[in-house]
Amino acid sequence: MNRKHDVIIIGSGIAGMRAAIEAAQNNPGLDVAIVSKVQLMRSHSVCAEGGTAAVIQPDEGDSIELHAWDTVRGADFLCDQDVVMRFVEEIPKEIMLLEHWGIPWSRRPDGRIAQRPFGGHSYNRATFAADKTGFFEMQTLYDTLQKFDNISRYDECYVTSILIEDNLFHGVTAWDLAHGEFFAIQGKALVIATGGACRMFGFTTYSLTATGDGIAMAYRAGLPLKDTEFVQFHPTGLVPSGILITEAARGEGGYLRNSQGERFMEKYAAGKMELAPRDIIARAEMTEIEEGRGFTGPDGLDYVHVDLSHLGADKINERLPLIREVAIRFNFIDPIDEPIPVRPAAHYFMGGIHTDIDGATPVEGIWAAGEAGCLSLHGANRLGSNSTAECLVWGKIAGNKAARYALQQKNFPPLPQEAALKVAEAQVFDRFKPDAKESAFSLRGELQKIMDAEVSVYRTGSGLEAALKKVKELKQRVADIQVKDRGRIYNTDLLSALEVDNLLDIAEVVVVGALARTESRGAHSRRDFPERDDVNWLKHTLAHYTPAGPRIEYLPVTINAWEPVERKY
Ligand SMILES: Cc1cc2nc3c(=O)[nH]c(=O)nc-3n(C[C@H](O)[C@H](O)[C@H](O)COP(=O)(O)OP(=O)(O)OC[C@H]3O[C@@H](n4cnc5c(N)ncnc54)[C@H](O)[C@@H]3O)c2cc1C
């Protein structure tokens, strides 16, 4: 049976839950729903470790302008500066709001909220709860959510399409994974908060569930994607699993060393050392490894070391307990005594669904927030601890805007006729045949292999051409994925097929954008075009869906405070 809610939010990460609270708390008469493919607290956001950036100690020397400048410079000037200003002004209020809602922020001996250094920030402004910041933020939002009886939950329901007609939002279709039912949800407003798409890479810090579904659905429904060629590679992915060793490990004083024991960042960013922005450190690590100063790792995963041993047991246990536990459990290494093997891992999607400064997409009634959206806050390279912050700020803004819009609409836009919904249902459940030849698992593996090889820290034109050819070939093979399980309850065969289809659509946009961008900027580093080219490329990439592949156009960058200068640390 179909359902109906004023505001539908897809996703229950930090962005989705913050949006739901904002929509519900100011409007008791408004009917809000959260749809999530996992139980709410299992969303990828619980993985966030190191902190959330905000200026909360202006009396001690930090300033809004400094946070803005750090973000603009970190972004290699591809961010929209009006968006950045709004961000730095709003996030301190969110930190205090979470404080009032009960989050156990780590504290200084004088009782004030503690803040730690993070890469690219010129002040200690990452607010944290040990190295489990995302977990505690999620828990606090989840607790707060319980206060509102005008929020309905659809846990473990997988949204399969966004329904748009005449550029107006009408609803979504969803598959209840636990009970097998397929239904439509009619709505007046939608917030897409479905997270990023780095699972298209093999060596990644991402949760298995973060497969870019919302970005792909939006793209196919006609919403343009922005700046997807900018993928962040985090310098400290644990080898071989890819689990994140938080930047806070370096923020607390950890060193990066090569196989000769050298703190090699001296050569690449002497002023910031281990706390340079991530794109710069990731390139430095790959250079060290490629020039023979790394360690030989399994399956080609050569690595460098992050060394915490000089920090002492007390500091590691108090500030980095999760990192210690992960290193012991997964690598049988105790960081109190031994260095940890790390290399760059796909970590964050700077691009996403194109929105304006309010998170509004070009389709009436649809907003996007969090990692799924692209407001142009992070530009070509996000600074660590600015993402959870963005989720909070634009979760609130998008939730508020969506609620206000829904309240102004007298009627619900109609759902498609029953027959059309039956077609949508068949497109999910009858699309893949039991006797087909391809495996979703192998396709995902092949995609990850080519993305790791050719679309990683360093890129070249010929490598990207090869990646595009492979992605197109894989897209052809999707139709022949075998799904033997014909059931509808927890059918993970079918779910994997749908997810790889989503990843492939976005991978194509990533590669096409990267191939077109003949410069190096932030996380997009072309060996064949090593310089930043502001004359030709200080612009956003916008990709529109066509059945033959993305149609690319470009948008200007908003520069209203700082003109681009050479980026030196
Ligand atoms: C290991 C790790 C550590 C990090 N640490 C930090 C940090 O310390 N500080 C920082 O600022 N950033 C950090 N980040 C980045 C940050 O955690 C993420 O960018 C952020 O949490 C994304 O939140 P989100 O709300 O946008 O989406 P997510 O938390 O990814 O949530 C997406 C939601 O969408 C739902 N969903 C997706 N597809 C569908 C579908 N088809 N149908 C229904 N529901 C769907 C999912 O169920 C989920 O609820 C880290 C990232 C990683 C990987």
Residue 250 catalytic? Answer: yes
How far is the centre of ligand 1, averaged over its atoms, from the C-alpha of 32 (Å)?
Answer: 21
* 433, two tokens: 């045949």
Residue ranges of the alpha helices (H) in 378-491? 387-408, 418-429, 440-454, 461-478
In this predicted model, what pLDDT tens digit does every residue of 22-48 receive, in sequence order?
999 989 999 999 999 999 999 999 999
In a 13 Å sphere around the CA of 70, the CA atoms on its Cβ side amount to 29
Residues 6 or more apart in contact with residue 258 via CB below 8 angstroms: 264, 288, 293, 294, 304, 305
Q: Which of 320, 388, 494 most suits a substitution to test ligand 1, by most atoms within 8 Å of the C-beta?
A: 388
Residue 414 DSSP label: P
CB burial of 507-518 (b: ≥16 within 10 Å; e: otherwise) equals: bbbbbbbbbebe
Cα 4 to the center of its chain, rounded Å: 29
326 within ligand 1 shell (Cβ under 6 A)? no
Residues 6 or more apart in contact with residue 381 via CB below 8 angstroms: 74, 75, 76, 230, 232, 277, 278, 279, 350, 522, 523
Neighbouring CB atoms inside 10 A of 439's CB total 18
pLDDT at site 2:
80
How far is the centre of ligand 1, averaged over its atoms, from the C-alpha of 545 (Å)?
Answer: 24
In this predicted model, what pLDDT tens digit does every residue of 544-558 receive, in sequence order?
999 999 999 999 999
How far is the centre of ligand 1, averaged over its atoms, from the C-alpha of 44 (Å)?
Answer: 4
Residue 234 catalytic? Answer: yes
Burial class (CB in 10 A: 0-12, 13-18, 19+), 66: middle
Q: Report residue 166: phi and psi, to 5°.
A: 50, 45
247 within ligand 1 shell (Cβ under 6 A)? no
Q: Report residue 217: phi and psi, to 5°.
A: -65, -45
Q: Which of 139, 348, 387, 502 most suits a substitution to test ligand 1, by most atoms within 8 Å of the C-beta?
A: 387
Q: Helix, strand or coil for residue 11?
A: coil
Query: 154: which strand partners?
Result: 35
| Beta carbons of 116 and 251 less than 8 angstroms apart | yes
366 within ligand 1 shell (Cβ under 6 A)? no
392 within ligand 1 shell (Cβ under 6 A)? no
Which atom of ligand 1 lies closest to the CA of 244? 1
Q: Which of 18, 67, 73, 250 is catalytic?
A: 250
Residue in this structure with the two tokens 């992915």, named with its chain if needed: 237
Smallest Cα–Cα separation from 248: which of 193, 326, 196? 326
- d(C-alpha 456, C-alpha 414), whole Å: 44
E strands, 11-66, are 32-35, 52-53
50 within ligand 1 shell (Cβ under 6 A)? yes
* 11, two tokens: 């996703």
Name the residue with the closest Cα to ligand 1, atom 53: 206
**Residue numbers in the chain where pLDDT is lower than 70:** none
pLDDT at site 188:
98
How far is the centre of ligand 1, averaged over its atoms, from the C-alpha of 434 (Å)?
Answer: 33
How far is the centre of ligand 1, averaged over its atoms, from the C-alpha of 13 (Å)?
Answer: 6
521 within ligand 1 shell (Cβ under 6 A)? no
Name the residue with the closest Cα to ligand 1, atom 2: 48
Smallest Cα–Cα separation from 50: which of 347, 491, 459, 468? 347
pLDDT at site 26:
86
Rg (CA), the chain: 23
202 within ligand 1 shell (Cβ under 6 A)? no
How far is the centre of ligand 1, averaged over its atoms, from the C-alpha of 204 (Å)?
Answer: 13
pLDDT at site 1:
79
Residues 6 or more apart in contact with residue 541 via CB below 8 angstroms: 226, 227, 228, 229, 351, 513, 516, 517, 552, 554
* 363, two tokens: 């389709």
How far is the centre of ligand 1, averaged over its atoms, from the C-alpha of 436 (Å)?
Answer: 33
Neighbouring CB atoms inside 10 A of 429's CB total 17
Q: Which of 44, 73, 125, 234 is catalytic?
A: 234
- d(C-alpha 9, C-alpha 27), whole Å: 15
38 within ligand 1 shell (Cβ under 6 A)? yes
244 within ligand 1 shell (Cβ under 6 A)? yes
The DSSP H or E segment spanning 10 is strand 3-10
The DSSP H or E segment spanning 234 is strand 231-238
| Beta carbons of 502 and 211 less than 8 angstroms apart | yes
Is this model's pTM higher than 0.85 or not?
yes
- d(C-alpha 569, C-alpha 566), whole Å: 10
| Beta carbons of 519 and 529 less than 8 angstroms apart | yes
The DSSP H or E segment spanning 68 is helix 64-74
Helices 492-516/461-478 angle, 10° precision: 150
